[in-house]
Amino acid sequence: MINLPNVTLIAVSSIKIERTIRALEYSCRKINFGEVKFVTHADVNPKGISVEKIPQIKSKDEFSKITVYDLPKYVNTDYCILVQYDGFIVNPEQWTDEFLNYDWVGPLWTTGHNYFDKNGNQVRVGDGISLRSKKLINLASEVNIPWLPFTNNGQHGPGYWEDSWICVKNRHIYEENGCKFAPIDLAARWGRELHNPPIPENEGITPFVFHGRKDPYMELI
């Protein structure tokens, strides 16, 4: 077993409740986390998972705002790993403590996402099935980052996606406050998003996590 007492495994959802619970349970194979939590409106009591009740989440914007500002309420450890019903830990043996050197580690986006930060640098690391430090999840409230939508040439906006809101739109604020985002090679080892064609950096790598409802890994739960 891998012991990660300083990491909370967590999911936030009001949809696909049973699948989200199965994703949390599956992610615990061969790993002992400090805590395992499900933040939801649902009346559930899964074994080994602490349920934190909230009002029903009715949109992706509500989900994103809760994840950006409220996640620290539920995380008592130095890090958390956020999973979803369609993205979770599948190969625990791929864990490395090197991940803990960063405040955000998530799967790669394609170059086709055309995500650029304030300084004009293309952002590839940011998918939300990610490891996040307590420092990073605390920051939006601590420095009062305004809740404004992220628009990327019409692709994902106007609207809110918490991962691109943190890793693209407000990346400079997080970096100015000492947060470190994983480099591309480490992010490729962390996980994959399913794309056609596949992301080249992911080829030949067995991922720790995945994200994508059409990914074959979905069949595991």
pLDDT tens per residue, range 161-181? 999 999 999 999 999 999 999
Which residue type does 24 have? L
Positive or negative, the CA dihedral 107, 177, 71, 60 is negative
How much is the mean pLDDT over the chain?
94
The Cα–Cα gap between 164 and 166 comes to: 5
pLDDT at 198: 83
| pTM of the full structure | 0.95
Average pLDDT over residues 32-45: 98
Average pLDDT over residues 66-74: 97
Summarize pLDDT for 143-166 with one digit per residue, the tens. Answer: 999 998 876 654 555 568 999 999
Helix (H) / strand (E) element for 163: namely helix 162-164
Look at residue 81 and tell me whether its pLDDT is greater than 80.
yes
pLDDT at 159: 66
* Cis-peptide, bond into residue 46, ω within 30° of zero: no
Q: For residue 104, what are its two tokens?
A: 């955000």
Look at residue 199 and tell me whether its pLDDT is greater than 80.
yes
The Cα–Cα gap between 162 and 84 comes to: 13
Which residue type does 176 have? E
The Cα–Cα gap between 59 and 47 comes to: 28
